[in-house]
Structure 1
């Protein structure tokens, strides 16, 4: 599903250059649930931005579902993101003046889906994450866990090939974090490919594979015995 080969990325900082990714080789098969770990400055956010087509590597190749991702203008990159990827963020990134239903339906609007169809689909996804009865509520009327469930429903609405989750439990307490991870595990068991960037070891243990980054290189890539979040919910 994802194939990264010899990926390098540097940034200009004043008169010097900061080499952030130093030859990353990394692949993810369809249906995997992978966590990417690393301290601040390890390169994990840069890698996620490249995977999410929000940034582009200086060297190396990135292939997503058989499609080479390179030299994309913003229009094509936006189209590919909408086609291939669903995003889940630590800060939820919900539109404050739109209801939960409208937030979930938004990716379908950009895909040109007719209003009646996208609202029906959005309601189905809200039901999937247990928030059908909260569909008319604004984000400020929802708890942190509910906001993240709306964000997950929105990420799923466009039926993406891959979900990219950037610290999805970072703004949540432990109990709510495990509830969110239980939902993510459930979605993965249905066959969805999911990558999670996290600094929390207990969250990483709830995935099936942990990739550790340090100073722009992968220092460890290990299959793990997955801890089921359900036992803590």
Structure 2
């Protein structure tokens, strides 16, 4: 599903250059649940931005579902993001003045899906994450865990090939984190490919593979015995 070969990325820092990614090689098969770990400055956010087509590498190649991701203008990048990717953020990134239903339906609006169809689909995914009765509530009326469930429903609504989750439990307490991870594990059990950036070892253990980054290189990449979040819920 994802093939990364010899990926390099540097940023200009005044007259100097900061080499953030130093030759990343990394493949993800369809249906995997992978966590990417690393301390601040390890390069994990830069890698996620490149995977999400929010940034582009200086060298190397990135192929997503057989499509080379290179030299994209913003219009094409936006089209590919909408087609291939669903995003889950630590800060939820919900629109405060729109209901949960409208937030979930938003990516479908950009796909030019007819209103009734997109609302029906949005409601289906809110049902899937257990929030059907909260569909007309604003984000300010929801708990942190409920907001993240809305964000997950929104990410799923366009049926992406890959879910990219950036610290999806970072703003949540332990109990709510485990509930969100139980939901993510269930989505993965249905066959969805998911990558999670996290600094929390217990969250990483709930995935099936852990990739450790340090100073812009992968220092460890191994499969793990997955801990089911339902043990804690």
TM over 0.5: yes
Q: 1:24 deviation in Å?
A: 0.1
Equivalent residue, structure 2, for 1:19: 19
Pair 1:218-2:218 in alignment: yes
SS of structure 2 residue aligned to 1:83: helix
Equivalent residue, structure 2, for 1:127: 127
Q: Deviations over 1:4-31 (max 9, x none)?
A: 0000000000110000000000000000
Work out the CA distance in 2 between the residues paired with 1:3 and 1:54: 17
Equivalent residue, structure 1, for 2:188: 188
Work out the CA distance in 2 between the residues paired with 1:189 and 1:232: 18
Work out the CA distance in 2 between the residues paired with 1:168 and 1:232: 17
Work out the CA distance in 1 between the residues paired with 2:45 and 2:108: 27
Q: 1:165 deviation in Å?
A: 0.0
Work out the CA distance in 2 between the residues paired with 1:222 and 1:169: 22
Work out the CA distance in 2 between the residues paired with 1:70 and 1:96: 34
Equivalent residue, structure 2, for 1:151: 151
Work out the CA distance in 1 between the residues paired with 2:65 and 2:103: 27
TM-score, with structure 2 as normaliser: 1.00
Q: 1:61 deviation in Å?
A: 0.1
Equivalent residue, structure 2, for 1:115: 115
Equivalent residue, structure 1, for 2:70: 70
Work out the CA distance in 1 between the residues paired with 2:14 and 2:107: 38
SS of structure 2 residue aligned to 1:24: strand
SS of structure 1 residue aligned to 2:53: coil
SS of structure 2 residue aligned to 1:206: coil
Work out the CA distance in 2 between the residues paired with 1:111 and 1:4: 28
Equivalent residue, structure 2, for 1:6: 6
4+ long deviations beyond 6 Å: none
Work out the CA distance in 1 between the residues paired with 2:62 and 2:13: 25
Work out the CA distance in 2 between the residues paired with 1:68 and 1:222: 26
Q: 1:153 deviation in Å?
A: 0.0
TM-score, with structure 1 as normaliser: 1.00
SS of structure 1 residue aligned to 2:165: strand
Q: CA RMSD in A?
A: 0.2
Aligned residue pair count: 233
Equivalent residue, structure 1, for 2:79: 79
Equivalent residue, structure 1, for 2:136: 136
